[in-house]
Amino acid sequence: MLGEELGISRVKCYRIFKETLNQSPSDILMSLRLQKAEVLLKTKRLNISEISFECGYNDPKYFGRSFKKYFGKTPKEFKEFKEYSA
């Protein structure tokens, strides 16, 4: 969809992202979704499954694996750490 909006091919869109940002469009989108999850874990009183759905993940287990890979902690560990440090 992004390529269509910009009027360029999918391949050219991918190349531009990789050249300028050193990340693929899907990596950037995942990063943005996980950053949104971080904010929700810090500020909202939602449970982890609700946060995963709010960030566009259909599977809370996949969300948890992605979150841990990105932040080095599970969402539960992250949420508990933020509660103790506040």
Cα of 3 vs its chain's centroid, Å? 21
Give residue 85's pLDDT band: very low, low, confident or very high (50, 70, 90): low
Task: Please give the pLDDT value at position 82.
Answer: 66
Give me the mean pLDDT over the 58-85 stretch.
88
Alpha carbon distance 36, 34 (integer Å): 5
Cα of 5 vs its chain's centroid, Å? 22
- What pLDDT, in 10s, does the model give residues 17-71? 899 999 988 899 999 999 999 999 988 788 999 999 999 999 999 999 999 999 9
Task: Please give the pLDDT value at position 13.
Answer: 87
Q: Which two tokens mark 34?
A: 């996980």
pTM for the predicted model, two decimal places: 0.80
For the chain, domains (ranges, CATH) are 2-85 (1.10.10.60)
Alpha carbon distance 83, 78 (integer Å): 9
